[in-house]
Amino acid sequence: MGRSSKDKRDVYYRLAKEGGWRARSAFKLLQINEEFDLFTGVKRVVDLCAAPGSWSQVLSRKLIEERKEESEEANDAKIVAVDLQAMAPLPGVIQLQGDITKVSTANEIIKHFEGEPADLVVCDGAPDVTGLHDIDEYIQGQLLLAAFNITSHVLKKGGNFVAKIFRGKDVDLLYSQLKLFFPEVTVCKPRSSRNSSIESFVVCLNYSPPDGYTPTMANPLLNQDLDYSSLQGINRVVTPFMACGDLNSYDSDMTYPLQLEGEKEYQQLPPTQAPIKPPYQTACDMKKKNLLQNEQSNVKESSKDIVDDEK
Ligand code: SAM
């Protein structure tokens, strides 16, 4: 497809080039901001999964350039952008090449804020799409959880979190999980995000972790080395396990003699309800007719007879 036909087919692609944005995604963050006014009073921002950098450009323009134009005062806004891939430099943006699933990345970010937490975390992260919807949704969900985990290490209480989400069939679980940490969770679809795309964005306002919550990078579904005993307080949910029935009754893992002590005389009985048309029936019938030992060809013929008999 030529560039001019893409310009015609995708107006945001054209507008991105005209506006000097590195990707059309810039419009998504701009349109989300129109609704939620994300940048007022904000100084420290983390842009997760930032490459090639159009969201970082939006942040740099809004928090640094526009503020410089409005006031002569020193601008102390700080933007830290993280991605697995390298990104061309941007004014006022500190770039980290790293993986958002790693605690070392959270520590690097915090170092740049000199120990102070962030006011806002945004994440436009997406895995390489396979085209298999269930798998893509699952991986996107895991990336969102990684983004949330890193956010729980770097975001101040009362701060906001915006992240890409795939609105698949199990997305309600993710909303509920986010609601445990943010009283206000909204899903929004900017005009610049194609209708044909499953992507939307969760806007989570006013970070309020439950009392005693300790940030963790552990995802119990993925992290098999997780030491559960290290989880304490609200981080540790123990589901009760209960043994039912008389503890003196028979042990289902033991082998007992046919004649049980103190019981009436043993007598072999057929099952109370035999299975209806079990898949092994043909083999049983063949065994009865002594056909199972025969040559393969005989077996084939006879089993055909049996199947014909059954019709
Ligand atoms: N917001 C960006 C912009 O406006 O230019 C576009 C982001 S792009 C849709 C998704 C990015 O997620 C890719 O650059 C990819 O490298 C990054 N990514 C995926 N998994 C990641 C991970 N585990 N850690 C860091 N970055 C990741």
Identify the residue whose tokens are 């028979």: 250
Dihedrals φ, ψ of 31, to 5°? Answer: -70, -35
Distance 255 CA to ligand 1 centre (A): 58
Report which ligand 1 atom has the smallest distance to the Cα of 26.
Answer: 4
Name which residue leads in pLDDT, 292 or 306.
292
Q: State yes or no: ipTM above 0.95.
A: yes
Distance between CA atoms of 173 and 29, rounded to whole angstroms? 24
The tens digit of pLDDT for each residue in 247-297 reads: 888 888 889 999 998 999 999 998 888 888 888 889 988 989 988 876 555
Provide the 8-state DSSP code for 281: H
The tens digit of pLDDT for each residue in 111-155 reads: 898 889 999 999 999 988 888 888 988 899 999 999 999 999 999
Q: Tell me which residue has its CA closest to atom 18 in ligand 1.
A: 49
Q: Tell me which residue has its CA closest to atom 15 in ligand 1.
A: 49
**Among 17, 59, 84, 101, which is best to mutate for testing ligand 1, by the most ligand atoms less than 8 A from CB?**
84
The tens digit of pLDDT for each residue in 84-111 reads: 999 999 999 999 999 998 888 988 998 8
Q: Is 147 in the pocket of ligand 1 (CB under 6 A)?
A: no
Question: Peptide bond before 52: cis, by omega within 30 degrees of 0?
Answer: yes
State the pLDDT at residue 310: 42
**Among 22, 49, 136, 142, which is best to mutate for testing ligand 1, by the most ligand atoms less than 8 A from CB?**
49
13 in Cβ contact with 106 (< 8 Å): no
Mean of pLDDT over the chain: 86
Q: Is 22 in the pocket of ligand 1 (CB under 6 A)?
A: yes
Q: Is 126 in the pocket of ligand 1 (CB under 6 A)?
A: yes
Q: Is 83 in the pocket of ligand 1 (CB under 6 A)?
A: yes
Output b/e per residue, 136-161; b: 16+ Cβ within 10 A. bbbbbbebbbbbbbbbbbbbeeebbb
**Residues facing residue 186 across a β-bridge:** 203
Catalytic residue annotation: 164
Distance 150 CA to ligand 1 centre (A): 15
In the three-class reduction of DSSP (H, G, I as helix; E, B as strand; rest coil), residue 201 is classed as strand
173 burial (CB, 10 Å; 0-12 / 13-18 / 19+) is exposed
State the pLDDT at residue 278: 87
